Amino acid sequence: MTEDAILQGCLQNNTTAQRELYQRYSPKMLSVCYRFAHNREDAEDMLQEGFIKVFSQIHTFQNKGAFEGWIRRIIVHTCINHLKKNKKFNESVDIIHATTIQVREESVPSIVQAKQVVECIRLLPIGYRTVLNLYAVEGYSHKEIAEMLDIEESTSRSQYTRARQMLEDILVKKKIIQKPKEKISWLGMAAGQ
């Protein structure tokens, strides 16, 4: 079935089209949910809730942009709402780790051993993990994240910075990346010498 045929079928509540849409997009969307969820069961709950919204709101899709992107936005918002509803976003955050390691953008791998990196992201406190996923993976701005999560924009920025720092620390400890070499000053000497 083509994407357009699936869309038209879903608009007419055709169960074959709905099954095809779910089978086509649920694996990708489950991975989105998994990044936000505490465990697989929570991810599956988020996915089911998200697809219920997709099917109930499919009439609002206006063919402006990709259909998969529209589905993904619904899934991401469903994940955020699920976290808020279950008060998981407000869990306390350990800030001690936030200043333990210096971060350099190039030291955080982009593709290297993606599955291990995702597992490490899941080790972050829920607030850090949520902001990191929304900003670095989903591409939302800090302003949009602040509105979504009912937090200050500066809180989004600081949680993202702390998440990057903590993620780097975890990646180094698990030997997925090497610890950054000491910072070099503009004179070419090690800082502090």
- Number of H-type helices and E-type strands within the chain: 8, 0
Using CA atoms, how far apart are residues 34 and 119, in angstroms rounded to an integer?
Answer: 10
Q: What percent of the chain has pLDDT over 70?
A: 78
Q: Indicate if 132 and 70 belong to the same structural domain.
A: no
For the stretch 127-160, pLDDT in tens is: 899 999 999 888 999 999 999 988 999 999 999 9
Mean pLDDT (whole number) for 117-133: 88
For the stretch 18-58, pLDDT in tens is: 999 999 999 999 999 998 888 889 999 999 999 999 999 99
Q: Indicate if 99 and 49 belong to the same structural domain.
A: no
Is 50 inside a domain boundary?
Answer: yes
By the 8 A CB rule, do 165 and 124 touch?
no
The domain that holds 161 is classified in CATH as 1.10.10.10
Q: Whole-angstrom distance between the N-terminal and C-terminal Cα of the chain?
A: 66
Give the residue from 50, 85, 120 where a domain finishes.
Answer: 85
Is 184 inside a domain boundary?
Answer: no
pTM of model > 0.95: no
Q: What domain count does the chain have?
A: 2
Burial readout 153-184 (b: 16 or more C-beta within 10 A, e: otherwise)? eebbbbbbebbbbbbbbbbeeeebbeeeeeee
The domain that holds 73 is classified in CATH as 1.10.1740.10
Q: Indicate if 108 and 142 belong to the same structural domain.
A: yes
Task: Report residue 136 CA to chain centroid gap.
Answer: 7
Q: Which of the 8 DSSP states describes residue 150?
A: T
Q: Indicate if 94 and 167 belong to the same structural domain.
A: yes
User: Where does residue 73 rank: exposed (0-12), middle (13-18), buried (19+ CB within 10 A)?
Assistant: middle
* pLDDT at residue 110, rounded to an integer: 47
* pLDDT at residue 25, rounded to an integer: 96
Mean pLDDT (whole number) for 95-122: 53
pLDDT band at 120 (very low <50, low <70, confident <90, very high): confident
Using CA atoms, how far apart are residues 71 and 82, in angstroms rounded to an integer?
Answer: 16
More reliable by pLDDT, 171 or 59: 59
Structural domain range at position 152: 87-177
